[in-house]
């Protein structure tokens, strides 16, 4: 299948700070591809480079078969970009914002498409509302509608669900999943591991380095080891105690720990013994399959 994006040995620095370090990625057309990592990982910089908004120091980047940034003018109407912050006009209505973006791209016969997008994003009854009066989730759906009005072939979404309520996040993902039917390639960045499960393929990035690049299912196999989940109290004391055992890798998630080991099969009785001897109350202890979050934290520790 033809690739929508090809990145070879891409590097970008700001002074002495290496923001992207030898990134290599191919993104097939008509899939949802994810850039996953914490703040400062380099996700936004990479997206801006692919949109032609930022240059790179070395390496190569192609979008829709065109070299970036040299050929960006040839495909500017084929690329949609949704930034982290809402950047439309808050004093214009929903309809007026879409109309304005349509006029920038020279569209005249756009009203049918606008009505389709408003129905698609469930914004029809809000079309006469000022954009500034909308909720965070509605603003993102409006921004997406403005991006789609000129029918781009590829869209870049930079953390579109950050700060959005859970219901709106779920609706937004339903919309994105349906977009694939329109033959659109979607590249989306996120710090959320639950969202990463939805991608056809993803790249995990931290401090400018790519830690993993595969399907969610394959990345989870990186942790080829048993994981014991321990729900206990006080959890931070338990974390410190188990972390002192050399063969254990311990990850903390709220009121529970995930304990694994590359070197030996985990002895559940030994975990229980250590915690009970130190007055740690155990509510539950069980084996669980590795998650993307387990794999990501494991890779970060290895990288550091």
Average pLDDT of the segment spanning 226-233: 92
- Write down the pLDDT at residue 163: 76
| Domains of the chain with CATH codes | 3-217 (3.40.50.300), 227-303 (3.30.70)
Percent of the chain with pLDDT over 70: 99
User: pLDDT for 141-197, tens place per residue?
Assistant: 898 899 888 889 999 999 988 877 788 788 888 888 888 888 899 999 999 888 899
User: pLDDT for 91-108, tens place per residue?
Assistant: 999 999 999 999 988 888
CB 136 within 8 A of CB 172: no
Average pLDDT over the chain reads: 90
- Write down the pLDDT at residue 164: 76
- Write down the pLDDT at residue 194: 86
Give which of 91, 54, 89 is closest to 69, Cα–Cα: 54
pLDDT at 140 over 90: no
Q: Quote the crossing angle between the two packed helices 136-148 and 166-179, to the nearest 10°.
A: 10
- Write down the pLDDT at residue 22: 96
Q: Which range is most confident: 55-69, 244-258, 259-273?
A: 55-69
If DSSP states are collapsed to H, E and C, what string results for 49-76?
HHCCCCCCCEEEEEECCEECCCCHHHHH
- Write down the pLDDT at residue 264: 67
- Write down the pLDDT at residue 304: 74
**Cα angle value 36/257/290 (rounded, 5°):** 50
More reliable by pLDDT, 162 or 72: 72
User: pLDDT for 196-224, tens place per residue?
Assistant: 999 999 999 999 999 999 999 999 988 87
pTM attached to this predicted model: 0.86
* Confidence label for 263 from pLDDT (cuts 50, 70 and 90): low
Give which of 212, 210, 203, 205 is closest to 31, Cα–Cα: 203
3-state secondary structure of 132: helix
Cα of first residue to Cα of last residue in the chain, in angstroms, is 35
- Write down the pLDDT at residue 301: 82
- Write down the pLDDT at residue 1: 58
């Amino acid at each position: 299948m033809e690739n929508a994006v090809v990145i070879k040995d891409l590097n970008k620095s700001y002074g002495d700070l290496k923001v992207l370090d030898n990134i290599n990625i191919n993104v097939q057309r008509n899939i949802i591809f994810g850039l996953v990592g914490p703040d400062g990982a380099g996700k936004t910089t990479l997206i801006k480079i692919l949109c032609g908004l930022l240059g790179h120091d070395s390496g190569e980047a192609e979008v829709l078969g065109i070299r970036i940034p040299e050929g960006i003018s040839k495909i500017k109407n084929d690329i949609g970009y949704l930034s982290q912050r809402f950047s439309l006009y808050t004093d214009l209505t929903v309809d007026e914002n879409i109309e304005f973006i349509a006029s920038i791209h020279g569209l005249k016969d756009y009203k049918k498409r606008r009505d389709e997008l408003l129905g698609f994003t469930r914004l029809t009854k809000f079309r006469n509302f000022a954009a500034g009066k909308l909720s965070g989730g509605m603003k993102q759906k409006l921004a997406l509608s403005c991006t789609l009005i000129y029918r781009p072939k590829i869209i870049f979404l930079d953390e579109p669900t950050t700060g959005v309520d859970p219901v709106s996040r779920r609706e937004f993902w339903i919309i994105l999943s349906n977009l694939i039917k329109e033959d659109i390639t979607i590249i989306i960045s996120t710090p959320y591991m639950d969202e990463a499960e939805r991608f056809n393929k993803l790249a995990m990035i931290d401090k400018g380095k790519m830690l993993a690049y595969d399907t969610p299912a394959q990345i989870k196999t990186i942790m080829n080891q048993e994981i014991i989940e321990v729900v206990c109290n006080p959890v931070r004391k338990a974390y410190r105690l188990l972390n002192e055992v050399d063969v254990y890798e311990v990850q903390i998630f709220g009121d529970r720990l995930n304990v694994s080991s590359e070197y030996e099969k985990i002895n559940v009785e030994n975990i229980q013994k250590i915690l009970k001897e130190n007055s740690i109350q155990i509510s539950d202890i069980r084996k669980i399959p590795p998650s993307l979050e387990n794999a990501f934290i494991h890779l970060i520790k290895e990288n550091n």
